[in-house]
Amino acid sequence: MQNILIIGSNGQLGSEISDAIVKFPDLAGFFYDLPQIDITDASSVASKIKEHAIDLIINCAAYTAVDQAEADIDAAYSVNRDGPAVLGRLCKQNDLKLIHISTDYVFSGSARVPYRETDATDPIGIYGKSKLAGEQVIRKISPSHLIIRTAWLYSTRGNNFVKTMLRLGLENDTIRVVSDQMGSPTYARDLAWVILTIINKDVAKIKDQTYHFTNEGVCSWYDFARAIMVIKNLQCQVQPIATKDYPTLAARPQYSVLNSAKIKADWGLAIPYWRDSLTECLAKL
């Protein structure tokens, strides 16, 4: 039996892990979020490690407000860099494994072929820079870790693009959505399954690795929005627009496609196509 501490459990990914873990009888999950655990406060994490005799931590906690981060720099670095440093140190001291989630935003988005784990990072905003700093500190401190970068995450829980589009699609006849940013929509449920499958398969193999994981396939935000309207049979028209016509506080990577070949090969995984997973998620909404 592996005792797993899941932090950030009220978020999209944390909630999906909570749902999925019941299918893994050899894994016992202990789920915490603010205010019970604050990853920037070592004593709050240490007490739960002791209380539940934890073997492994999954860090789903993050400062994820991409635009707000541009003004709230200290808070973004506190949660996305200093929090992982706390977890890395505690894992090293207590000989625990650590699975940490990172993002496509560590890349600039200037590539035109899917990013591999070995490609140079070059974040263009505070969120991406703070998440990259979190990766770097974990690599430095804790040898028994996996860092999994994902992108365009959505779920039935929390705030995300799918839920926003559903609301807008019900309220409007027409919406305008950016068509020149490309990525891979990723159902947090699929990422949750991959994380638990990895732990269940061979926990000893969790050692100093970085992986990319998204659902299969590539689309633009416009394609993603169109698929949501079509699958839900909403009459709202989706019009494609350019990024320059939808200004945001933080710049977005234009090309966010991650190559997931390494995680598939190392762990023998099959990854669902984004539109199939989207259909399954929408059936629950």
Ligand X SMILES: NC(=O)c1ccc[n+]([C@@H]2O[C@H](COP(=O)([O-])OP(=O)(O)OC[C@H]3O[C@@H](n4cnc5c(N)ncnc54)[C@H](OP(=O)(O)O)[C@@H]3O)[C@@H](O)[C@H]2O)c1
Calculate the alpha carbon distances from 168 to 158, 177, 225, 246, 252 in Å: 16, 11, 10, 16, 21
Q: Which of 29, 83, 88, 128: binder of ligand X (CB under 6 A)?
A: 83
User: Is there a catalytic annotation at residue 32?
Assistant: no
* Residue 64 binding ligand X, by CB under 6 A: yes
* Residue 216 binding ligand X, by CB under 6 A: no
Smallest gap from Cβ 195 to ligand X, in A, equals: 11
Q: Which of 33, 67, 117, 122: binder of ligand X (CB under 6 A)?
A: 33
* Residue 258 binding ligand X, by CB under 6 A: no
CB 12 within 8 A of CB 154: yes
Q: Which of 54, 79, 87, 258: binder of ligand X (CB under 6 A)?
A: 79
Stretch that binds ligand X, among 146-154, 192-200, 203-211, 229-237 (CB under 6 A): 146-154
Smallest gap from Cβ 54 to ligand X, in A, equals: 15
The two structure tokens encoding residue 222: 């416009």
Q: At residue 260, what are phi and psi to the nearest 5 degrees? A: -95, 15
> With left for phi above 0 and alpha for psi between -120 and 50, is residue 80 left, alpha or beta?
alpha
* Residue with smallest beta-carbon separation from ligand X: 11
Q: Return the number of the residue (26 or 133) whose C-beta is nearest ligand X.
A: 133
Residue linked to tokens 């492994």: 56
Smallest gap from Cβ 102 to ligand X, in A, equals: 6
Residue linked to tokens 């797993």: 4
Query: x/- string (CB under 6 A) for ligand X, residues 100-129?
Result: -x-xx-------------------------
Q: Where would I find the H helices in the chain?
A: 12-20, 42-51, 66-69, 73-77, 83-94, 126-141, 161-171, 188-201, 221-231, 261-267, 274-283
Where in 147-186 is the site for ligand X (CB under 6 A)? 150-153, 158
> Annotated catalytic residue: which of 32, 115, 127, 222?
127
Q: For helices 274-283 and 221-231, what crossing angle results, to 10°?
A: 40
CA distance 282 to 256: 23
Secondary structure of the chain: what % helix, strand, coil (to 5)? 45, 20, 35
CA distance 284 to 274: 16
Q: Return the number of the residue (39 or 219) whose C-beta is nearest ligand X.
A: 39
Smallest gap from Cβ 196 to ligand X, in A, equals: 15
* Residue 223 binding ligand X, by CB under 6 A: no
Q: Return the number of the residue (159 or 237) whose C-beta is nearest ligand X.
A: 159
Stretch that binds ligand X, among 6-14, 50-58, 219-227, 273-281 (CB under 6 A): 6-14
CA distance 56 to 49: 9
Calculate the alpha carbon distances from 233 to 48, 88, 227 in Å: 46, 46, 10
* Residue 198 binding ligand X, by CB under 6 A: no
Contact footprint for ligand X (CB under 6 A): 7-8, 10-13, 33-34, 37-40, 60-62, 64, 79, 83, 101, 103-104, 131, 150-153, 158
Active site residues: 127
